[in-house]
Amino acid sequence: MTKHWPTPSLAKPTVAQPRSIVFLGTAHDSGGSSILASNLTTTMRADGHHVEEWYLFSSAAEMPPGARVFAHSGRSRSPLTLAMLFARVVMALRQRRPDAVIGLQPLSNLWAGLCGFIAGIRNRVATLHGPADRFNPLLMKLDAVAGRFGLYTTIIACGQSVADTFANNGKAYARRLAVIVNGHKKPALIKRDAARRQLGLPESGAVLGQIGRLSYQKHQDFSLDLMRDLPDASLLLVGGGPDEAAIHRQIAEAGILRRVQILPAIAHDHIGAFYSAVDIVLFPSRYEGLSLAAIESIHAGIPLICSDIPSFRELFHASPFLAANLLMPLDDRKAWLSRIAAILSDEKLRRKISDELRRLSPAYNFDTMATKYLALLK
């Protein structure tokens, strides 16, 4: 039977004074955890808190304004480099003395816990943004130890489905684990014609979209395979990543160059153009935490077709109608093609899906999530 982890109260934090918080990430790679930290930083600062973003390593992605990077040479596994970096983080925490240090990824979680413990930081928070079996096994073993023995004072899972994958880490770990369901800001939508012109898309015809890192996890090769049987549709992929070269080869070999466009990124202030331009968003992911892009699609009221995996089942658990219509078996081309055709051709179905998505939208309110983060701090 699924264990339901505690969820923090919606009540506002009882702390009268502003809090000092450091978000500590491994690298700002434009992934969900980094985007989440940047959004929380902006919101918490607006509420009067002193919040900083720190990253152990630099990356190709554009850094948030004011973010601190400890190693500008990129990621390293050198024991000497890591030892020097560890000492610098401990020293920085001792100098800053924040009320809380919050890790963002498996490695930075461990550093938030251990460096924070050595520096005497009261709140040492680990965040879990994906299933345990998808991370480095050694890091997961160390994570379990850190949770059991109190290096983490609090552990936040971004969804129930993620928390369940850590259920074997023991009672001490479970006592520190709480679920704060991901929330996200609503994208600012614009007129469809303007959005398509802005993104260089065809003014007429169906446009499918997929947003996320070009990687095994996001499964863009499946979306490209679908395009072979959708001759009247175009596809917009937004993202960069390790599979970029393979994806370009697949596009060329399939003869769909004219119908597929890849944008490395869209500035978050303008992400509404993506949701305004597309008719359906595809999420054929092999695994997820609780996808921020999928939550954006829900807020925008744009139909999203998702692989039938635990995180997307959780996303739609409050709406049997959406679960029945938007969850498709992973890699079942026939089912995906049939559902895409049904949504594109049936205006009544599209309208009902959009209405139901808007009804579900408040469950993933960003400000509610930010309040819950603050409520966990002692």
Q: What is the pLDDT of residues 46-57, one digit of tens each?
A: 999 999 999 999
Q: What pLDDT is recorded for position 30?
A: 66
Per-residue pLDDT at 7: 57
- pLDDT tens digits, 192-226: 999 999 999 999 999 999 999 999 999 999 999 99
CA distance 149 to 33: 25
Q: Does 28 or 43 have the greater pLDDT score?
A: 43
- CA distances 64 to 27, 42, 69, 122, 276, Å, are 11, 10, 11, 26, 25
Find how far residue 303's CA is from the centre of its chain. 19
Closest CA to 145 of 107, 178, 103, 173: 173
Q: What mean pLDDT, rounded, does the chain reach?
A: 93
Is 31 or 206 the better-scoring residue by pLDDT? 206
The number of helices, as runs of H, and strands, as runs of E, in the chain is 16, 13
CA separation, residue 175 to residues 102, 149, 150, 163 (Å): 18, 11, 10, 12
Residue showing tokens 């305004």: 276
pLDDT at 6: 58
Distance CA(134)–CA(318), nearest Å, equals: 26
Higher confidence at residue 131 or residue 60? 131
Question: Is residue 179 pLDDT above 50, yes or no?
Answer: yes
Can you list the domains of the chain with their CATH numbers? Answer: 20-180 (3.40.50.2000), 192-363 (3.40.50.2000)
Q: What is the mean pLDDT of residues 128-140?
A: 96
Query: H-helix or E-strand containing 76?
Result: none
Quick one: pLDDT at residue 66?
87
Report the predicted TM-score, pTM, of the whole model to 2 decimal places: 0.91
Give the pLDDT confidence of 252-292 residue by residue, as tens digits: 999 999 999 999 989 888 999 999 999 999 999 999 999 99
Give the model's confidence band at 8: pLDDT under 50 very low, under 70 low, under 90 confident, else very high: low
pLDDT at site 29: 73
d(CA 16, CA 168): 37
| φ/ψ bin of 120: left (φ > 0), alpha (ψ from -120 to 50), beta (otherwise) | left
- The pLDDT of residue 28: 81
> Where do we find the tokens 């129930």?
160
pLDDT of residue 31: 76
Q: Given pLDDT bands bounded at 50, 70 and 90, which one contains residue 141?
A: very high
In the DSSP assignment, the letter for residue 235 is E
pLDDT digits (tens, 9 = 90+) for 357-374: 999 999 999 999 999 999
205: left (phi over 0), alpha (psi -120 to 50) or beta: left
Concatenated DSSP letters of 87-131: HHHHHHHHHH--SEEEE-SHHHHHHHHHHHHHHT-SEEEEEE-S-
pLDDT of residue 1: 39
Residue 15 pLDDT > 70: no
For residue 347, give Cα distances in angstroms to 168, 262, 294, 378: 46, 28, 21, 51
pLDDT tens by residue, 234-247: 999 999 999 999 99
